[in-house]
Chain A
Amino acid sequence: MAADDTANKHGPDIAAAVKDALLSGLVALALFGPLIGLRTEQNMRNELVIQSRWGLVAAIIAVIVIGRFLMLTLVSPALARRRERVSATPEHPSALRQALGKWFAPASIAFLFLYPILIVSLLGFQGSLKWVDNFGIQILIYVMLGWGLNIVVGLAGLLDLGYVAFYAVGAYSYALLSSHFGLSFWILLPMAGIFAALWGIMLGFPVLRLRGDYLAIVTLAFGEIIRLVLINFRELTNGSAGISSIPKVTLFGIPFDASPGGFAKMFDLPLSSAYYKIFLYYLILLLALLTAFVTIRLRKLPVGRAWEALREDEIACRSLGINTTNTKLTAFALGALFAGFAGSFFAARQGFVSPESFTFMESAIIVAIVVLGGMGSMVGVALAAVAMIGGTELLRELAFLKTIFGDNFNPDQFRMLIFGLAMVGIMIWKPRGFVSSREPTIFLAEKKAISGSLVKEGHG
């Protein structure tokens, strides 16, 4: 850091940079020499043989030395200059940014409605399947889950690491009730939501006395309990084998199949599975928009303000006569309600549910979406879902890299690594998430965005 500071004032200090780079090279040699340079392998007679790879080590060290040198002489001074320039100009958003902020949400909603039409007209029905299903539906499920969890984590400030439990309750409600009782999706969608909300209240009651880390751990445990019950309650849930052949969603009674009363026959269209996918796409889009609409409305109602006040200061809330237990429970229940909706949609779309789909990893991804998006921000959460889920789906599309890195290269395996790197990067440059400012719910004269540094993250 000292080298950086001198570089800022007098331009790049070459001698110091060379010294620093050589030192980094030395550290790298100490680290990578034994780790990469020496490798043991078993030969035909089961003996361990040491192989040396000094060429590779030399290449890595060269990259580090040159990289460090360039970093100190070119990148750091440029960053410092930029920082100075930014701090010199007072913060006030340009007209472009303001227009972007105003029109981004409506424009993206319009785009989402046109997206299947666009894809179908570009790639035809068969080619559109992947883009509508893997990208469209998959991302929108997570957008909806992110917005649901945003109520609990982003607005009420209650860190819930077991959110996927409510998703599971919704999915199994639909799976069991539709396959055993033949109830339609349209009856079970609200029911699944209500069941999940009831579970939210049931789990909420005992844990709401806890705060912060303790709340997080207990909710995490509840997520695991639900999954373990699903695995072990074989009589009802069929254990880890899961429930298969769950009935599909119908368009108000019109099934999407090849039967004479099916969608394709009815409208005299050629048979294609794309209709069902596009229908599902619009269904989840509407469900996600319902979540957004309700959340935006709730923020402007007393209950929403009470959630945010709770996140800011619970004791002050109680001193103002707010029943904090009820307020937390409504947040839990509403978050769970939307997870239940999403869960029943998930079950209907997959046609198969098993406890495998509801691991802690899912909860972690949803929490990561909310945190990455900027807690409490609808647009931010949606963007984060696109980046996280769309990003992982895109990695599957990178098969062409095999021509460069050889046939053994599988970009899917780098998913978590890239994830981690992206998260670290975001936490460095945008520690409060993509959208870090909070929008006030009401204003007298002028609506001013509130800087994220003043908004608290909640404590329990």
Chain B
Amino acid sequence: MSELLQTAPAALPWENNPVLAVEHVFMRFGGLIAVNDLSFSVGRGDITALIGPNGAGKTTVFNCITGFYKPTQGMLRLQHASGATFLLERMPDFRISAKARVARTFQNIRLFSGMTVLENLLVAQHNPLMLASGMTVLGILGLPGYRRAEHEAVERAKYWLERTGLTPRADDPAGDLPYGAQRRLEIARAMCTGPELLCLDEPAAGLNPRESAELNALLLGIRETEKTSLLLIEHDMSVVMEISDHVIVLEYGTKIADGTPPEVRNDPRVIAAYLGVDDREVEVVEERLDQIVEGAAT
């Protein structure tokens, strides 16, 4: 399979050695088809945006990628830069984060609100710390190996606190932070797991324009310094168009557009589906669509 992919000349930049390839994924809930034969690729080192109107199935796709749902059908192939390949649809959710190194944030923020900011970042480093504490046994005895590991973990947490501007609030409970800071903390927490692919579910929701601009800078910085690929769901078009390299548009669980931001922005189907049209304009748009389809056929 991989040979086939490598030998075939890649038409699009993100098809070339993608970090994540979603292939013919279906997700059915009883009679409802939430995701219908979806295929796309997330380019390595790209910022890929998944957009679409409410209920289009974006979060369902996320939940399939991060293992919270098992897709009814289809394949999700994740490949590290080192070449290790993981079939995500076959892995339980916690192993997807631990082994395949896919981290995610949530649409409705899920922090450990009764724990401090620093503790949140240390929980994210659970697996390496658990190993260092000898599965707790050596840790109880207080051996120096664990203390060193914890010190490193704190250093890593400090680094991300600095990056997200949360250092002054490190010892405050996460639930006490303002909304924007909670969003940033969730990203910092996800980054503390050292992910290959970071999935962000509406990171700019509820942010004011300044915070939104800061978020853009943070995400671009993450891609720059950590070489992490980003996949984000977003409604805020300023974020999507400014920072993403590749945009995928979903409607009713089906992909209706896939391309660079300018391509997608000018796609009439996207305009119709995503931005919505007035009732009066429906006919006009349908006419235009018909013309496009005819044009494509001829």
Contacts and interface: CB of A to CB of B under 8 A. Distances in A.
Contacts of A306: 123, 126, 130
B126 to A, nearest CB: 5
A444 B111 contact: no
Contacts of A303: 130, 133, 136, 139
Interface string B158-170: 1000000001001
B129 interface: yes
Contacts of A308: 112, 114-115, 119
Interface stretch (B13-21, B42-50, B94-102): B94-102
Contacts of A313: 110-113
Nearest to B157: A444
Interface stretch (A344-352, A418-426, A446-454): A446-454
A315 to B, nearest CB: 6
B173 to A, nearest CB: 4
B136 A301 contact: yes
Given A302-B126, A450-B173, A319 B93 contact: yes
A438 interface: yes
B126 A322 contact: yes
A456 B133 CA distance: 27
A312 B113 contact: yes
A440 B66 contact: no
Contact of B130 (A302, A448, A451, A454): A302
A317 interface: yes
B97 A321 contact: yes
Interface string A166-193: 0000000000000000000000000000
A455 B129 CA distance: 24
A435 to B, nearest CB: 14
A440 B116 contact: yes
B140 A320 contact: no
A444 B150 CA distance: 13
B136 A318 contact: no
Given A302-B129, A303-B130, A324-B94, A309 B115 contact: yes
Given A444-B170, A444-B171, A450-B173, A456 B114 contact: yes
A438 B173 CA distance: 10
B103 A455 contact: no
B98 A319 contact: no
Contacts of A438: 114
B107 to A, nearest CB: 12
Given A312-B113, A316-B112, A454-B173, A321 B136 contact: no
Nearest to B146: A301
Interface in A194-245: none
Contacts of A456: 113-114
B115 to A, nearest CB: 6
Nearest to B158: A444
B180 interface: no
Contacts of B127: 321-322
Nearest to B99: A321
B122 interface: yes
B246 interface: no
Interface of B: 66, 68, 93-99, 103-104, 106, 110-116, 118-119, 122-127, 129-130, 133, 136, 139-140, 142, 146, 150, 154, 158, 167, 170-173, 175-176, 189-190, 193
Interface of A: 294, 297-298, 301-303, 305-306, 308-309, 311-313, 315-324, 330, 438, 440-448, 450-451, 454-456
